[in-house]
C-alpha cells in the first residue's frame, strides 16, 4: 500500500512543477524495426501524464468510429476517447477504453532515460503519425537504472484502399524491463503486473479487441524471453515489427511468426541440403 501512496504523491508533486534477439545479441541488432522521425513534439518529462487531443492528419475508422485526434499517453499507449494515466496495465480484452498499446506499462521519464516524442511524417510514402518511446525508464525513474525500453507506434493512412482504412505498426528495438515498482516489479523493472500489448475499441464485442501472446506474463516480452518482442514479427519481414491492418472498420489478427535463432537456421539449412528438399517451413 505504501508504494502506491508514494506513487500518488510523486504524481501530484510532478504535476505541480511541470513539466524499447536475445540478451546476448549485439547492440542495435534489431534497430531496423524502429523508424526515424516522428519527433517534432516532445511530451514533457513526467510520470503518468499525457498530451492531447492531437490531430494526427487523417481519418482512421477504428471499428466503426472515425477518429482524427488521439491522446499520447506516457505509459506506452495512445487512446482515442480521453487521456489515460493508469500505470498498471489492465486487461485489453475487457476494457471500456479505446486504446492501441505497443507496450502498456509504467513508463516514467521524470528523472532518467529519454522523453516520449511524437509527430507526423510518412511511412512507405504514405501519410503517417508516430509516437516514440525510445530509451525510456520505468517507475520509480532513476539514473541508477540500467534497463531501458525502446519501442514505437506508427499509424499509417491507407485511404488509398478505402475511406478510413489505416495500418498501425508496433516497432521494437529493446525491451529490458516489464513493469514499474508501483506495479509490483523489483528494482530492475522485472516481475509484477507486466506489460500488455494490443488494442481495444472499448465495447467488449467479439473481434474488437486483441492482446499479443505473452501479455501479462512475467519475462515473456523481454529480450530473450519466450515471446520476445524484438525477435518475432507480424505481417512483416523485419524482426521486431508487428503490422495490423484496419480495413472497413475491422482489424485482422494473424498469428505472429517466431524467428529461428541463428543456430537453428544453420541446422535447418543442413537438413535441407541433406534431404534435398525444395523448401521447409518452420512450424509456428
Q: What is the pLDDT of residue 241?
A: 98
Distances (CA, A) of 51 to 92, 139, 282: 21, 19, 43
Residues near 249 by beta carbon (within 8 Å), at least 6 away in sequence: 61, 62, 63, 64, 164
Query: What pLDDT, on the 0 to 100 scale, is given for residue 252?
Result: 82
Is the backbone peptide bond immediately before 176 cis, with ω within 30 degrees of 0? no
The DSSP call for residue 98 is -
pLDDT in tens, the chain (284 residues): 444 445 544 433 333 333 333 333 333 343 589 999 999 999 999 999 999 999 999 999 999 999 999 999 999 999 999 999 999 999 999 999 999 999 999 999 999 999 999 999 999 999 999 999 999 999 999 999 999 999 999 999 999 999 999 999 999 999 999 999 999 999 999 999 999 999 999 999 999 999 999 999 999 999 999 999 999 999 999 999 999 999 999 998 666 655 554 444 443 343 434 434 333 333 33
CA nearest neighbour of 131 among 112, 109, 111: 109
Cα gap 158→224, rounded to integer Å:
34
Which cell is 109 given?
Answer: 521519464
Contacts of 92 (CB under 8 A, 6+ apart): 99, 101, 104, 196, 198, 199, 200, 209, 210, 211, 215
**In this predicted structure, what is the pLDDT of residue 270?**
39
**Rounded Cα distance, 184 and 182, in Å:** 5
Q: Using CA atoms, how far apart are residues 79 and 85, in angstroms rounded to an integer?
A: 11
The pLDDT score that the predictor gives to residue 212 is 97
User: What is the structure's pLDDT at 194?
Assistant: 98
The full length of the chain comes to: 284
Rounded to two decimals, the pTM is: 0.82
Burial (CB count within 10 angstroms: exposed 0-12, middle 13-18, buried 19+), residue 234: middle
Mapped to the 3 state alphabet, what secondary structure does 73-119 carry? ECCCEEECCCCCCCCCCCCCCCCCCCEEEEEECCEECCCCECCCEEE
Amino acid 32: pLDDT: 80
Amino acid at each position: 500500500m505504501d508504494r502506491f501512496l508514494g506513487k500518488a504523491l510523486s504524481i501530484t508533486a510532478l504535476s505541480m512543477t511541470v513539466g524499447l534477439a536475445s540478451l546476448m545479441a549485439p547492440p542495435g541488432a534489431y534497430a531496423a524495426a524502429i523508424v526515424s522521425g516522428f519527433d517534432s513534439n516532445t511530451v514533457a518529462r513526467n510520470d503518468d501524464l499525457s498530451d492531447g487531443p492531437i490531430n494526427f492528419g487523417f481519418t482512421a475508422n477504428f471499428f466503426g468510429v472515425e477518429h482524427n485526434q488521439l491522446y499520447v499517453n506516457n505509459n506506452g499507449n495512445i487512446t482515442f476517447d480521453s487521456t489515460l494515466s493508469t500505470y498498471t496495465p489492465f486487461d485489453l480484452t475487457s476494457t471500456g477504453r479505446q486504446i492501441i498499446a505497443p507496450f502498456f506499462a509504467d513508463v516514467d521519464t521524470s528523472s532518467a532515460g529519454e522523453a516520449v516524442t511524437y509527430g507526423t511524417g510518412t511511412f512507405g510514402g504514405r501519410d503517417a503519425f508516430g509516437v516514440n518511446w525510445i530509451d525510456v525508464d520505468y517507475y520509480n525513474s532513476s539514473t541508477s537504472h540500467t534497463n531501458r525500453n525502446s519501442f514505437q507506434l506508427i499509424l499509417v493512412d491507407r485511404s488509398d484502399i478505402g475511406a478510413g482504412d489505416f495500418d498501425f505498426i508496433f516497432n521494437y528495438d529493446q525491451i529490458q524491463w516489464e513493469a514499474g515498482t508501483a506495479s509490483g516489479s523489483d528494482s530492475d523493472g522485472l516481475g509484477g503486473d507486466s506489460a500488455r500489448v494490443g488494442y481495444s475499441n472499448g465495447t467488449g464485442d467479439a473481434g474488437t479487441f486483441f492482446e499479443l501472446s505473452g501479455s501479462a506474463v512475467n519475462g515473456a516480452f523481454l529480450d530473450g524471453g519466450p515471446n520476445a518482442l524484438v525477435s518475432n514479427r507480424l505481417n512483416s519481414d523485419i524482426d521486431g515489427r508487428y503490422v495490423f491492418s484496419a480495413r472497413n472498420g475491422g482489424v485482422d489478427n494473424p498469428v505472429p511468426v517466431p524467428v529461428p535463432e541463428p543456430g537453428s537456421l544453420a541446422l535447418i539449412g543442413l537438413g535441407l541440403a541433406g534431404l534435398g528438399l525444395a523448401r521447409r517451413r518452420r512450424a509456428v
